[in-house]
Structure 1
Amino acid sequence: MKCGIIGLPNIGKSTLFNLISNSKALSKNFPFCTIEPNYGITKIPDKRLYELKTLINSNKIVPSKIKIVDIAGLIKGSHKGEGLGNKFLSHIRETNVIIHMIRCFNDIRVLHVEGGINPIRDKEIIDIELQFKDLETIEKRLEKTYKNKKSISTILLQKVFSFLKEGKNIRIFPFKNNEKKYIEDLQLLTIKPVLYVCNIDDKNDFNLKNIKEMVKKEKSTLVVLSLKIKSYDQKKNYISGIDKIIKESYKLLNLQSFFTIGKEEIRAWSIPNHYTAYQASSVIHTDLKKGFICAEIIHYKDFIKYGSKEKAKKAGKTFLVGKNYLIKDGDIIHFRFNQ
């Protein structure tokens, strides 16, 4: 599961990538500083781990993690191959969530490929390029399925095609029931969930109100932060912003965390929502899944409330579950299995 950072060149994507993933990707003041994507891993901020450590006094904590990809800047005409656009668009196709970064800072020392700062225009440039690529993808599929004009997938594709031509992203298309499954294999770009990030300075807001309205219409999330830190308060806001980007990305990936605890370590494990206990066991080790007997569950909130496994058990807050139990975010689990 990957989150890809996209946007125009020279907006701070590689800087954000380095900060999120603690990497050292090249970040310079010229377009296409990034050619090949940079890959990194980021830890998911989770205060629950530290609260559990306070009670258990474990030797270490291990947070959940996700993959982050820094993708080269797109420009007008990327869907036609401008600026190596086709290559960059294929990198976006490989991601599960898009972090769409928008430049909202004015610094004459940092070049802008469009010649001036205009966040609304910049957002629309990226949207249009992704939409054009999706139109091209759907058109090719429709050419192959023209004989099956009455099939569910063909009818749906025609509707989505018309929707895109109106300049709308597929993620806000009114899908019914399980319609999405008919077009999943196309890996369309504008269907991917998106988190918008505005990189601001301390002097201009460049119509953030208008951007917020656009993002709200898409039912997406917006994070506003400055990558330039000049004061203690700005540092606090910056840390809060970075944490929010990571947490929101994790949420958009439809992931949740369960915990395993012990004196040696407390660890958070990432699993998709709606995973069963049986499926979750294999995330730790395939042997657990092979020999699965049951799982002992205490929810994090109950563990914190009662202060220990023993007290939670006396209060009737621990229970044994079978293979089909649906894991809840924050469950503390001990798997029982045949070795």
Structure 2
Amino acid sequence: AFTLPDNEIFLASWHELGLITAKPVIYCANVDEAAVARGNAFADAVGALAAERKAGFARICAKLEEELQGLPEEEQAEMLTSYGIEESGLVRIIRTGYATLGLCSYFTAGPDEVRAWTIRLGWKAPQAAGVIHTDFERGFIRAEVISFEDYMSHENEAACRADGVLRVEGKDYVVRDGDVMHFLFNV
């Protein structure tokens, strides 16, 4: 694998070129129903190649994915369990894609809608706020943060605040995957 030099001018040119050979790669092995949970020799070989090349890897069963389409959630969960897996191939590919690209998501929640925002892993709160609007990043004051698990285990935001699971974070806070956030800003 080619190691990029720590040279600002070179890196700027490198990113501007957008070479397809420099893009992250995900290998996906399509297996039969018998191999969807534990794999087989061929899928294992593809997984080993992906690991060697520092690429993403996902194992799916396209036939099973087709059968899952249109089924209610309960029946989907039952079918996945019968094959010894917990999530669909589509979900596995999405997770692999996020991991390979170094992405995560945070949420904003209001009375009318909940929205997911995709950001790079390691971004700080002001950068994450800038995804919504550049004014949010420029005038960032602080963020109110609730972990996804805490948000889902409480009746509402007021209950989160009362139980002390709503935190106030500053400019140096590194956003975690699944955070529920509200930004305070002044422009």
TM-score (norm 2): 0.69
Deviations 1:306-333 (A, max 9, x none): 3322222222222222222211111111
Q: Find 1:318's aligned residue among 162, 166, 182.
A: 166
Larger CA Rg, structure 1 vs 2 = 1
Question: Which letter maps to 1:289?
Answer: E
Q: Distance in 2 between matches of 1:277 and 1:302?
A: 19
Q: Find 1:197's aligned residue among 28, 48, 52.
A: 28
Shift of 1:220: 3.8
Answer yes or no: is the 8 Å Cα contact 2:65–2:88 preserved in 1: no
Q: Distance in 1 between matches of 2:61 and 2:28?
A: 10
Q: Find 1:286's aligned residue among 134, 141, 153.
A: 134
Matches within 5 A, 1:94-109: none
Question: Which residue matches 2:96?
Answer: 248
Percent pairwise identity:
33
Matches within 5 A, 1:68-147: none
Answer yes or no: is the 8 Å Cα contact 2:126–2:140 preserved in 1: yes
Distance of aligned partners of 1:317 and 1:209 in 2 relative to their CA distance in 1, 3 Å threshold: closer
Question: Which residue matches 1:264?
Answer: 112
Q: Distance in 1 between matches of 2:95 and 2:168?
A: 30
Matches within 5 A, 1:1-339: 170=1, 180-182=5-7, 184=11, 185-186=13-14, 192-200=23-31, 207-228=42-63, 232=67, 240-338=88-186
Answer yes or no: is the 8 Å Cα contact 2:56–2:100 preserved in 1: no
Answer yes or no: is the 8 Å Cα contact 2:55–2:100 preserved in 1: no
Distance of aligned partners of 1:290 and 1:229 in 2 relative to their CA distance in 1, 3 Å threshold: closer
Deviations 1:99-135 (A, max 9, x none): xxxxxxxxxxxxxxxxxxxxxxxxxxxxxxxxxxxxx
Question: Which letter maps to 2:59?
Answer: V
Question: Which letter maps to 1:317?
Answer: V
Deviations 1:207-259 (A, max 9, x none): 3343333334345443233434598479866x811221122111211111111
The alignment covers a number of residue pairs equal to 164
Q: Distance in 1 between matches of 2:167 and 2:42?
A: 53
Shift of 1:266: 0.4
Question: Which residue matches 2:84?
Answer: none
Name the SS for the 1:259 alignment partner.
Answer: strand
Name the SS for the 2:62 alignment partner.
Answer: coil
